[in-house]
Protein backbone atom coordinates (compact mmCIF):
# COMPACT_ATOMS: atom_id res chain seq x y z
CA UNK A 1 0.00 0.00 0.00
CA UNK A 2 1.00 3.61 -0.46
CA UNK A 3 0.92 6.05 2.47
CA UNK A 4 -2.45 7.31 1.23
CA UNK A 5 -4.04 3.89 1.05
CA UNK A 6 -2.53 3.00 4.44
CA UNK A 7 -4.36 6.02 5.85
CA UNK A 8 -7.56 4.91 4.11
CA UNK A 9 -7.28 1.48 5.71
CA UNK A 10 -6.79 2.96 9.19
CA UNK A 11 -9.68 5.37 8.75
CA UNK A 12 -12.10 2.71 7.59
CA UNK A 13 -11.17 0.34 10.39
CA UNK A 14 -11.98 3.13 12.86
CA UNK A 15 -15.22 3.93 11.07
CA UNK A 16 -16.52 0.36 11.17
CA UNK A 17 -15.08 -0.46 14.58
CA UNK A 18 -16.63 2.60 16.22
CA UNK A 19 -19.73 2.66 13.96
CA UNK A 20 -19.07 6.28 12.98
CA UNK A 21 -21.32 8.53 10.92
CA UNK A 22 -24.04 6.01 10.14
CA UNK A 23 -21.54 3.54 8.71
CA UNK A 24 -23.91 0.59 9.22
CA UNK A 25 -26.21 0.92 6.22
CA UNK A 26 -29.51 -0.94 6.45
CA UNK A 27 -30.53 -1.02 2.78
CA UNK A 28 -28.59 -1.78 -0.42
CA UNK A 29 -27.71 1.16 -2.62
CA UNK A 30 -30.75 1.85 -4.81
CA UNK A 31 -28.66 2.74 -7.86
CA UNK A 32 -26.76 -0.53 -7.63
CA UNK A 33 -30.03 -2.48 -7.30
CA UNK A 34 -31.43 -0.72 -10.38
CA UNK A 35 -28.33 -1.44 -12.46
CA UNK A 36 -28.26 -5.08 -11.36
CA UNK A 37 -31.82 -5.70 -12.49
CA UNK A 38 -31.45 -3.68 -15.69
CA UNK A 39 -28.44 -5.84 -16.63
CA UNK A 40 -29.44 -9.21 -15.20
CA UNK A 41 -29.80 -10.59 -18.71
CA UNK A 42 -26.01 -10.52 -19.08
CA UNK A 43 -25.22 -11.60 -15.50
CA UNK A 44 -24.78 -15.30 -14.77
CA UNK A 45 -26.79 -15.45 -11.56
CA UNK A 46 -25.91 -19.13 -11.07
CA UNK A 47 -22.24 -18.18 -10.86
CA UNK A 48 -19.76 -16.60 -8.45
CA UNK A 49 -19.91 -12.97 -7.33
CA UNK A 50 -17.33 -10.83 -5.53
CA UNK A 51 -18.45 -7.86 -3.43
CA UNK A 52 -15.19 -5.89 -3.47
CA UNK A 53 -15.00 -3.52 -0.50
CA UNK A 54 -18.34 -4.58 0.96
CA UNK A 55 -18.31 -2.15 3.91
CA UNK A 56 -21.32 -2.67 6.16
CA UNK A 57 -22.56 -5.58 4.03
CA UNK A 58 -25.74 -3.83 2.90
CA UNK A 59 -25.06 -4.60 -0.76
CA UNK A 60 -23.82 -8.08 0.12
CA UNK A 61 -27.19 -8.77 1.71
CA UNK A 62 -28.83 -7.95 -1.61
CA UNK A 63 -26.32 -9.85 -3.75
CA UNK A 64 -26.48 -13.06 -1.73
CA UNK A 65 -30.16 -13.30 -2.59
CA UNK A 66 -29.52 -13.04 -6.33
CA UNK A 67 -26.21 -14.82 -6.93
CA UNK A 68 -25.52 -18.48 -6.23
CA UNK A 69 -22.14 -18.01 -4.58
CA UNK A 70 -20.98 -14.80 -2.88
CA UNK A 71 -17.48 -13.76 -1.82
CA UNK A 72 -16.37 -10.55 -0.14
CA UNK A 73 -13.11 -8.71 0.43
CA UNK A 74 -12.43 -5.72 2.72
CA UNK A 75 -9.63 -3.77 4.39
CA UNK A 76 -11.45 -3.51 7.74
CA UNK A 77 -11.49 -6.49 10.11
CA UNK A 78 -14.38 -4.92 12.02
CA UNK A 79 -16.38 -4.71 8.80
CA UNK A 80 -15.73 -8.39 8.11
CA UNK A 81 -16.90 -9.39 11.59
CA UNK A 82 -20.12 -7.39 11.39
CA UNK A 83 -20.92 -8.56 7.85
CA UNK A 84 -20.36 -12.20 8.74
CA UNK A 85 -22.83 -11.73 11.57
CA UNK A 86 -25.27 -9.90 9.30
CA UNK A 87 -25.33 -12.64 6.65
CA UNK A 88 -25.19 -15.71 8.89
CA UNK A 89 -28.91 -16.50 8.53
CA UNK A 90 -28.60 -17.08 4.77
CA UNK A 91 -28.25 -20.81 4.15
CA UNK A 92 -25.77 -20.32 1.27
CA UNK A 93 -23.54 -17.94 3.25
CA UNK A 94 -20.01 -19.17 3.93
CA UNK A 95 -18.10 -16.90 6.36
CA UNK A 96 -14.79 -18.28 5.10
CA UNK A 97 -15.46 -16.49 1.79
CA UNK A 98 -15.42 -13.04 3.45
CA UNK A 99 -11.86 -11.95 4.22
CA UNK A 100 -9.34 -9.11 4.38
CA UNK A 101 -7.48 -7.83 1.35
CA UNK A 102 -4.01 -9.36 1.21
CA UNK A 103 -1.74 -11.74 -0.71
CA UNK A 104 -3.05 -14.69 1.29
CA UNK A 105 -6.59 -14.01 0.11
CA UNK A 106 -6.04 -13.45 -3.61
CA UNK A 107 -8.40 -15.15 -6.05
CA UNK A 108 -7.46 -17.11 -9.18
CA UNK A 109 -7.76 -15.49 -12.57
CA UNK A 110 -11.00 -16.13 -14.48
CA UNK A 111 -12.87 -16.97 -11.26
CA UNK A 112 -15.90 -14.65 -10.97
CA UNK A 113 -18.98 -14.16 -13.12
CA UNK A 114 -19.75 -10.80 -11.47
CA UNK A 115 -17.62 -8.30 -9.55
CA UNK A 116 -19.29 -5.41 -7.73
CA UNK A 117 -17.03 -2.55 -6.60
CA UNK A 118 -19.54 0.03 -5.43
CA UNK A 119 -18.45 3.29 -3.78
CA UNK A 120 -15.00 1.90 -3.09
CA UNK A 121 -12.70 2.30 -6.12
CA UNK A 122 -12.24 6.02 -5.56
CA UNK A 123 -10.30 5.36 -2.33
CA UNK A 124 -7.09 5.12 -4.36
CA UNK A 125 -4.53 7.26 -6.13
CA UNK A 126 -3.72 7.32 -9.85
CA UNK A 127 -1.30 4.38 -9.54
CA UNK A 128 -3.22 2.13 -7.20
CA UNK A 129 -6.55 2.57 -8.98
CA UNK A 130 -5.07 1.22 -12.20
CA UNK A 131 -3.61 -1.75 -10.37
CA UNK A 132 -6.91 -2.42 -8.60
CA UNK A 133 -8.94 -2.30 -11.83
CA UNK A 134 -6.43 -4.63 -13.51
CA UNK A 135 -6.81 -7.05 -10.61
CA UNK A 136 -10.59 -7.04 -10.92
CA UNK A 137 -10.26 -7.63 -14.67
CA UNK A 138 -8.09 -10.68 -14.00
CA UNK A 139 -10.54 -12.03 -11.42
CA UNK A 140 -13.40 -12.04 -13.93
CA UNK A 141 -14.10 -14.92 -16.27
CA UNK A 142 -14.21 -14.05 -19.97
CA UNK A 143 -17.64 -12.55 -20.46
CA UNK A 144 -17.88 -11.71 -16.75
CA UNK A 145 -19.43 -8.42 -15.67
CA UNK A 146 -18.07 -5.56 -13.55
CA UNK A 147 -20.46 -3.09 -11.89
CA UNK A 148 -18.67 -0.18 -10.25
CA UNK A 149 -18.79 3.49 -9.33
CA UNK A 150 -16.32 6.37 -9.04
CA UNK A 151 -16.82 9.84 -7.66
CA UNK A 152 -17.01 12.82 -10.02
CA UNK A 153 -15.23 16.08 -9.23
CA UNK A 154 -18.59 17.70 -8.40
CA UNK A 155 -18.99 15.41 -5.41
CA UNK A 156 -18.85 16.74 -1.85
CA UNK A 157 -15.84 14.53 -1.07
CA UNK A 158 -13.80 16.30 -3.76
CA UNK A 159 -15.12 19.76 -2.89
CA UNK A 160 -14.12 19.10 0.72
CA UNK A 161 -10.62 17.96 -0.18
CA UNK A 162 -7.18 19.23 -1.11
CA UNK A 163 -5.63 18.27 -4.44
CA UNK A 164 -2.27 16.54 -3.95
CA UNK A 165 -1.71 15.12 -7.42
CA UNK A 166 -3.47 14.74 -10.74
CA UNK A 167 -7.08 13.75 -9.94
CA UNK A 168 -5.99 12.76 -6.42
CA UNK A 169 -7.28 14.46 -3.27
CA UNK A 170 -7.08 14.29 0.52
CA UNK A 171 -10.42 14.75 2.29
CA UNK A 172 -10.33 17.55 4.88
CA UNK A 173 -11.95 18.02 8.27
CA UNK A 174 -15.27 19.17 6.82
CA UNK A 175 -16.00 15.45 6.44
CA UNK A 176 -14.65 14.47 9.87
CA UNK A 177 -15.29 10.71 9.67
CA UNK A 178 -13.26 10.57 6.43
CA UNK A 179 -10.68 13.26 7.21
CA UNK A 180 -7.32 12.26 5.73
CA UNK A 181 -8.74 9.70 3.31
CA UNK A 182 -7.21 9.76 -0.15
CA UNK A 183 -9.55 9.64 -3.14
CA UNK A 184 -9.17 9.52 -6.90
CA UNK A 185 -11.65 11.25 -9.20
CA UNK A 186 -11.51 11.40 -13.02
CA UNK A 187 -12.05 14.87 -14.51
CA UNK A 188 -14.45 13.70 -17.20
CA UNK A 189 -15.98 10.71 -18.91
CA UNK A 190 -13.02 10.27 -21.27
CA UNK A 191 -10.68 9.81 -18.31
CA UNK A 192 -13.19 7.44 -16.72
CA UNK A 193 -13.31 5.25 -19.82
CA UNK A 194 -9.51 5.18 -20.16
CA UNK A 195 -9.32 3.46 -16.78
CA UNK A 196 -11.41 0.60 -18.16
CA UNK A 197 -9.84 0.36 -21.63
CA UNK A 198 -9.29 -3.41 -21.25
CA UNK A 199 -13.04 -3.97 -20.88
CA UNK A 200 -15.95 -3.84 -23.27
CA UNK A 201 -18.14 -1.02 -21.93
CA UNK A 202 -21.80 -2.01 -21.62
CA UNK A 203 -23.12 1.23 -20.13
CA UNK A 204 -21.84 4.21 -18.18
CA UNK A 205 -23.13 7.51 -16.84
CA UNK A 206 -23.54 9.27 -13.54
CA UNK A 207 -25.95 9.61 -10.65
CA UNK A 208 -26.26 12.94 -8.90
CA UNK A 209 -28.19 14.32 -5.96
CA UNK A 210 -27.96 18.04 -6.57
CA UNK A 211 -28.07 20.21 -3.48
CA UNK A 212 -28.95 23.94 -3.54
CA UNK A 213 -25.89 24.14 -1.27
CA UNK A 214 -23.53 23.22 -4.10
CA UNK A 215 -20.79 21.83 -1.90
CA UNK A 216 -23.19 19.17 -0.57
CA UNK A 217 -23.87 17.62 -3.96
CA UNK A 218 -23.39 13.85 -4.23
CA UNK A 219 -22.15 12.89 -7.67
CA UNK A 220 -20.84 9.53 -8.89
CA UNK A 221 -20.04 7.89 -12.20
CA UNK A 222 -21.36 4.38 -12.72
CA UNK A 223 -20.03 1.85 -15.17
CA UNK A 224 -21.03 -1.65 -16.32
CA UNK A 225 -18.36 -3.48 -18.28
CA UNK A 226 -17.71 -6.95 -19.67
CA UNK A 227 -14.38 -8.76 -19.75
CA UNK A 228 -13.48 -9.32 -23.38
CATH number for 32: 3.40.50.150
Q: How many domains, in total, are found in the chain?
A: 1
At residue 98, the pLDDT reads 97
pLDDT at 214: 67
Q: ∠60-63-65 over CA atoms, to 5°?
A: 115
Residue 21: the pLDDT is 60
Task: Judge contact between 169 and 183, C-beta under 8 A.
Answer: yes
User: Residue 11's pLDDT is what?
Assistant: 78
Q: What string of DSSP letters covers 128-178?
A: HHHHHHHHHHHHEEEEEEEEEEEE-TTSHHHHTEEEEETTEEEE-TTSGGG
Kindly give the parts of the chain with pLDDT less than 70.
1-5, 20-23, 214
Range of the domain at 154: 3-21+28-227
Contact (Cβ atoms closer than 8 angstroms) between residue 58 and residue 28:
yes
Are 110 and 140 in contact, with CB atoms under 8 Å apart? yes
pLDDT at 211: 85
* DSSP-derived 3-state class of residue 45: coil
For residue 134, the model assigns a pLDDT of: 98
**Whole-number pLDDT of residue 18:** 79
pLDDT, position 22: 62
Q: What pLDDT score does 119 carry?
A: 95
- pTM across the whole model: 0.93
Amino acid sequence: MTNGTDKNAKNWEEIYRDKKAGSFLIYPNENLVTLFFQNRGIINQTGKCLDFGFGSGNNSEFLIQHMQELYGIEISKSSIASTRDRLKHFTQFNPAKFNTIGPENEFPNDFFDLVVAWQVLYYNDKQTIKATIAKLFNYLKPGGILICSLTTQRDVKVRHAKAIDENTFIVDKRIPHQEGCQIFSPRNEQELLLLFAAFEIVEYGYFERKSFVAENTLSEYYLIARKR
